[in-house]
Chain A
Amino acid sequence: MLGEHCKALSASGTRPRSGAQLPGASLRDSMGRAEKVSYRAGGGTSLAHRAHTVRVLAGTEYKLRYSGSALGYFWSIAKPLAFFSVLYVVFGRALRFGVGIENYPLYLLLGVVLFTYFADATNSTVETLVNRSQLLRRLSFPRMIIPISVTVTVFITLCINLVAVVVFVAAARVVPQLDWIAVVPLLLELYLFVLGVSLILSTLYVYFRDIRQIWEVLLQILFYAAPVIYPLQLLPSWGQHLAFLNPITQIMQDFRALVLDSEQAPTVATVYGHSAMRLVPIATVLAIFALGVAIFKSREPWLAERV
């Protein structure tokens, strides 16, 4: 009797009237009680609409961040620059970290801007599912839209900050090279890494609220573990090897090697002396991204009742 009503639907979402049974679900046993099947026809949203939703939510988030403040968007660029200035005075001038580096301000700025993105984006997503509980409990949409839109919002800020980097580049009279185009895949790698970490953190936070504090501490450790303020050469050889286990280090050093030169910013290939080693951080990023998606997806159906 049930088979009469349902059939595999064509992609156009036409209404089933008769025909074959739903694939993968045998619905004829007693009341179907042991099964757990949800079947939706024509209820899903298209990929284009999902992308549009991310755009709208990210744009809103960006607008709200600075709404009501007199200087508005200016703050999104002023904050990392202020942070950079403090670090430059303390570590560059007073402690002379940049002695071996030809263009230490630019070296430092690149590190600060890239690390700020990682820290800001992950920090903003930790609580995001819980903060949007109103949305989760009232609408059904692919939940991943929420962490994606937050990481995209912060990515807009990163792009604006990179404009500041361009100003520094011009001031330092560094001539742009054609191979700078490689920053695009590097930014993509950074985004995937950030999204993967954010998916893990935001899902865990639903179950353990300590994640907020733990992550703040971890970020501080990561800030000093990555060569943001000091040249990588300052570390002993084993330390340099160890540092590259962190994909942030690889992305940062590759950026610097492009804009400055690889003499001053050893990359994963030069430190390990093997160009195939380049694949290791990329594989790490992909693994963390896959793990994030898997964890998020596995908890997705129950997020609404747990947040």
Chain B
Amino acid sequence: MNASRPLAVECIGVSKTFALPHDTRSNLRDYFKHPFKQSEVEQNRVLDGVDLSTYEGEFFGIVGPNGSGKSTLLKIIAGIYRQTSGVVRVFGKLSPFIELGVGFHLELNARDNVRINGTLLGLSQRQIDDRFPEILAFAELERFVDQKLKNYSTGMQLRLAYSIAIQAPFEILLLDEVFAVGDESFQEKCQETFAGMRAERKTVVLVSHDLDWIGRYCDRALLLRGGVVQETGPARDVVELYLEQERAALAPEVPIS
């Protein structure tokens, strides 16, 4: 059914192995002491043959327990990590929001930080200058524009970060739990921006533990467990399967008398 829709992100048989040396010899003394000793390296296979394809305009969720490789998969798609084997293809301009506020400097004010953060996210100087009032207004920080960031509360910093992030030029957005920020009213604003992205047919790939959110907003989802894809399908079905598995795992420990 999807054969005619244009692909946005495709992973074919993506595997990732991290080499975890047991005692890292990061200084020369250790090399002199045991020059021929190979330090024990544990090969930790985080992803094993992951296949994923998401189409233009789709909201695609990735769910799974902690340590199942969700974030690693996202970072490989973003090009931050390099896969050990497999093929990753991205069609379109991709923007990763693995964490908000990358490159923020607490000693600088909002204007400087918007410039740095925006530039790192791919905005030109012109775009930053044009959108600066809009960014501040969205973050509700107009009054604090000349304050150093260290005088901002955590919530204020996150609001500023989010406001810059949504201005980045992208066709494909990768999100790692970052939308779970701010208070109730800011959350609502975030929901509005998601609705806007949907209207503009942006592709969103997101990792979240908020299963309710995934079930409600995502078209399709993928269940990852131990680095292996257990299920890909309509978001509600995948979330349901995941919840069932979790309940089954919990059941023997919580006997109902």
Contact = CB atoms under 8 A, between A and B. Distances in A.
Interface string B118-135: 011110110000000000
A52 B108 CA distance: 19
Interface residues of B, number: 50
A45 interface: yes
Interface residues of A, number: 51
Interface stretch (B78-86, B185-193, B214-222, B247-255): B78-86
Given A36-B85, A137-B80, A301-B82, A41 B92 contact: yes
Interface stretch (A9-17, A112-120, A177-185, A234-242): A9-17
Contact of B79 (A4, A38, A63): A38
A43 B112 contact: no
A34 B85 contact: yes
A279 interface: no
Given A43-B79, A304-B75, A139 B120 contact: yes
A39 B98 CA distance: 20
Contacts of B120: 53, 135, 139, 141
Nearest to A140: B79
Interface string B45-62: 000010100001000000
B96 A304 contact: no
Interface stretch (B99-107, B225-233, B234-242): B99-107
Contacts of A13: 92-93
Given A15-B92, A42-B92, A140-B78, A134 B102 contact: yes
A136 B78 CA distance: 12
A57 B116 contact: yes
Contacts of B116: 56-57, 60
A209 B80 contact: no
B94 interface: yes
Nearest to A205: B26
Contact of B86 (A35, A49, A141): A35
B105 A42 contact: no
A209 B87 contact: no
B85 A35 contact: yes
Given A32-B13, A210-B27, A37 B88 contact: yes
Nearest to A1: B3
A25 interface: yes
Contact of B103 (A38, A43, A135): A135
A207 interface: yes
A16 B107 contact: no
Interface string A18-37: 00001001010001111111
Contact of B6 (A17, A137, A141, A208): A17
A45 to B, nearest CB: 6
B45 to A, nearest CB: 13
Contacts of A34: 85
B64 to A, nearest CB: 20
A262 B107 CA distance: 48
Given A25-B87, A43-B92, A31 B18 contact: no
A302 to B, nearest CB: 6
Interface of A: 2, 4-6, 13, 15-17, 22, 25, 27, 31-43, 45, 49, 52-53, 56-57, 60, 63-64, 67-68, 134-141, 207-210, 301-302, 304-305
Given A39-B87, A52-B125, 17 more contacts: A15-B56, A35-B85, A36-B83, A36-B84, A38-B82, A39-B89, A42-B91, A49-B122, A57-B119, A64-B107, A64-B108, A138-B98, A138-B99, A138-B102, A140-B80, A208-B26, A209-B27
Interface of B: 3, 6-7, 10, 12-13, 15, 18, 26-28, 49, 51, 56, 75, 78-94, 96, 98-99, 102-103, 105, 107-108, 112, 115-116, 119-122, 124-125, 171
